[in-house]
Amino acid sequence: MFENLSGRLNTIFQNLRRRGKLTEADVDASLREVRLALLEADVHYSVVKDFLTRVRERAVGYEVSKALNPAQQVIKIVHEELITTLGEPGRLNLAGQKPRLIILVGLQGSGKTTAVAKLARLLRSQGERVLLVAADPYRPAAVKQLQTLGERIGVPVVYEQGVKPPDLVKRAYEQGQKGGYTIVIADTAGRSQLDQELMDELSAIAKKTPVAETLLVVDAMIGQTALQVAEGFKQAISINGLVFTKMDGDARGGAAISVRHVTGVPIKFLGTGEGIDAIEVYEPSRLASRILGMGDVLGLIEKAEAAFDEEEAKKQAGKMMSGKFTLEDFASQIKQVKKMGSFSQIMELLPGSLGQAAKMVDPKDAENQFKKTEAIINSMTMQERRNPDILNASRRRRIARGCGLEVQDVNRLMKQFRDTQRLMKTLQSSGGKGLSRLFG
């Protein structure tokens, strides 16, 4: 997400930091580069113009000229103005009479059906009772796809063959009232392009049922066409917010920066991957930090809290510090880390120098190493995982054959495991003072 833009901006800011006192010419030269970076990232030209005008007004004034660190002050201004451009965070309206009806609309191929399931899972994790409606009878396999996703996340799906979508949504809403559901989410039909038939059907749904939220699902990879799609839907029906999907697939991401400024419609959610849990509540300040290479520590903490079982984490930490953890524990930790997302997604959230250091590692290599480690441990017997001391040469050869790897791969894993054990024992015996030797 924003990989190209983030890389360009970081290069510009590094050059700026090398200068001492900044002249007006220095600022203008840097802002010209920022302008090119934003335009190449597919940010709308009017947004770029307004953004840079605001930045320049502050950057060549008293605010920077009297700063102890002028370059850092310019970066701070860019950060603050980027947050302003990204707009206020949009929030779902979940107040009032239950259930609250949320309908997701959009063109075909935008990832709407998957977004419905992701949103349902997120709201369910927040304590809501969710009911889904398969109101897209036109696309082949759309109903089956939502039913499969519903089973996967443990959320029921309403569908009646032959019933028109407006009537189906009304029946599902009434079922939700009787069943004590707090949220009903409808997956509506998409089209290859905007047309009157689609808009008439969406309007009919709104007339038959009290819609709390109408969210437009937009594929981030279509670039500035996303702005035209948003404007088209906004002119035809009442849109409360946007859900940008496939943000992980677009290294530019300029449409997400432009859309609030151009359309006035707030972004409420970002789809950040293929996993059913790969959805984020839109937070402009945190997104701005990620774009500028400052990371998102809060986002990283939230991912960790969602992935790790607190009691299990405490238990594992105790074992590690005592040096008594086993290969079984090692495998358990890898599974917990993988729940947080791909290695590249985690790297994106790391701040400053940590993020830069992590980017020196090829995400594919890191993912492959995780897979190798899991394959090796899965090829062991339960006794071998719990008591690695019994792993003699013949056992290691058998394990390598079992997972399709080399004996050297098994030996390398065992060395890493032993090194970690020794490190933890050293830290425990020194009462944590060993940390100062490692990081001081």
Q: Which domain holds residue 43?
A: 3-86
Same domain? For 144 and 286 the reply is: yes
Tell me, what amino acid is at 186? A
Q: Which residues contact 205 (CB under 8 A, 6 or more apart)?
A: 103, 135, 165, 166, 169, 186, 188, 211
Q: Which residues contact 350 (CB under 8 A, 6 or more apart)?
A: 295, 300, 358
Phi/psi region, residue 210 (left: phi>0; alpha: psi -120 to 50; beta: rest), is beta
Same domain? For 284 and 307 the reply is: no
Same domain? For 123 and 240 the reply is: yes
Tell me, what amino acid is at 127? G
Q: Tokens 């774009």 sit at which residue?
A: 291
Give residue 298's pLDDT.
47
Residue where a domain terminates, one of 252, 268, 291: 291
Same domain? For 279 and 331 the reply is: no
Structure confidence by residue, pLDDT tens digits, 3-60:
777 778 888 887 877 776 777 888 888 889 989 988 888 888 888 999 999 988 888 8
Asked whether residue 92 is domain-assigned, the answer is no
Which pTM does this prediction carry?
Answer: 0.66
Closest CA relative to residue 333, chosen from 408, 420, 426, 272: 420
Q: Please provide the average confidence, as pLDDT, over all residues in the chain.
A: 80
Same domain? For 277 and 317 the reply is: no
Residue where a domain terminates, one of 235, 256, 291: 291
CATH number at residue 15: 1.20.120.140
What H or E segment, with its residue span, contains residue 355? Answer: helix 352-358
Give residue 265's pLDDT.
86
Token representation of residue 145: 């796809």
Token representation of residue 300: 């990283």
Which of the four pLDDT bands, split at 50, 70 and 90, describes residue 182? very high
Same domain? For 133 and 233 the reply is: yes
Same domain? For 279 and 131 the reply is: yes
Give residue 355's pLDDT.
47
Closest CA relative to residue 374, chosen from 408, 403, 340, 343: 403
Token representation of residue 114: 């998957």
Give residue 18's pLDDT.
76
Asked whether residue 243 is domain-assigned, the answer is yes
Structure confidence by residue, pLDDT tens digits, 254-271:
777 788 888 888 889 988
Residue where a domain terminates, one of 291, 316, 345: 291
Same domain? For 231 and 121 the reply is: yes
Q: Which residues contact 145 (CB under 8 A, 6 or more apart)?
A: 113, 114
Same domain? For 158 and 280 the reply is: yes
Closest CA relative to residue 217, chosen from 196, 195, 189: 189
How many domains would you assign to the chain? 3
Which of the four pLDDT bands, split at 50, 70 and 90, describes residue 166? very high
Structure confidence by residue, pLDDT tens digits, 405-414:
999 999 988 8
Q: What percent of the chain has pLDDT over 70?
A: 78
Structure confidence by residue, pLDDT tens digits, 97-112:
899 999 999 888 888 9
Give residue 256's pLDDT.
77
Three-state secondary-structure class, residue 216: strand
Asked whether residue 397 is domain-assigned, the answer is yes
Structure confidence by residue, pLDDT tens digits, 190-246:
877 777 888 888 889 989 999 999 999 988 887 778 888 888 888 888 888 999 888
Token representation of residue 319: 């074992």
List of long-range contacts for 331-340, beta carbons under 8 Å, 24+ apart? 331/373, 331/374, 331/377, 331/378, 331/385, 334/370, 334/373, 334/374, 335/374, 336/307, 336/308, 336/309, 336/312, 337/307, 337/370, 338/370, 339/277, 339/306, 339/307, 339/308, 340/303, 340/304, 340/306, 340/307
Distance CA 303, CA 273 (A): 13
CATH number at residue 282: 3.40.50.300
Asked whether residue 94 is domain-assigned, the answer is no
Same domain? For 157 and 69 the reply is: no
Structure confidence by residue, pLDDT tens digits, 312-371:
556 655 665 555 677 877 777 777 666 666 555 555 555 444 444 445 556 677 778 878
Same domain? For 402 and 422 the reply is: yes
Could you count the other beta carbons within 10 Å of the beta carbon of residue 411?
14
Same domain? For 75 and 193 the reply is: no
